[in-house]
Amino acid sequence: MIESFKYLAHHIRTCGEDSIRVISEDVEDYVDQLHGEYNDFLEETKHIFPHSKDWQFLDQWKMLKVEEMKEKWVEENRISHPDDRIKITAFLEHIHILKEGAGHYLFHSHVTCEKENTWNILASMRELPLLQHSYIIIGERQEHPELGEVLTVHKMLPAS
């Protein structure tokens, strides 16, 4: 897996993302590398992967058993501060434009979640989202002087 990751990173850097393709193990006409080519590849790419924090973590906690190491990994990577953001998947019912200008729209809308909960959302975007579509919405609950409680949108992505 490490070699595959290094090869992909090296390939993207030297050839560009457009040249990436998937080759099945069952493909007969795949041209394999010679041992010398493979050894050159290892030498040329040694700087890509070994500098990650994973190696440092493994070295620091090498005395732990595998299960203990997994727990330590979770403990060290856990984000300690609480997240006030809310993430919902909701259906956009209507849009009420509050302000338009300078390539942005400020709008208010009611959205309905899969569990039939409704939310007032307040968003500022370059383009208006499509009505009658489902979106993943990430935002913060806030009080608005005229609209009451709203979910102020940080990110709104089409739900697939």
Where residue 46 falls among pLDDT bands split at 50, 70, 90? confident
- 67, two tokens: 């299960």
More confident of the two residues 158 and 115: 158
* pLDDT tens, position by position, 109-157: 989 887 778 899 999 999 999 999 999 999 999 999 988 999 999 999 9
pLDDT at 32: 66
pLDDT at 27: 67
pLDDT at 29: 64
pLDDT at 58: 85
More confident of the two residues 106 and 38: 106
Backbone angles phi, psi at 120, to 5 degrees: -90, 125
Look at residues 107, 120, 113, 125 and name the one whose alpha carbon lies nearest to residue 148: 120
Return residue ranges of the chain for CATH 2.40.50.140.
85-158
Q: What is the torsion angle, in degrees rounded to the nearest 10, for the CA atoms of residue 150, residue 152, residue 155 and residue 159?
A: 0
Which numeric CATH code is attached to 85-158? 2.40.50.140
* pLDDT tens, position by position, 49-86: 666 677 788 889 999 999 999 899 889 888 888 888 99
pLDDT at 151: 94
Question: Is the CA virtual torsion 78, 83, 88, 92 positive or negative?
Answer: negative
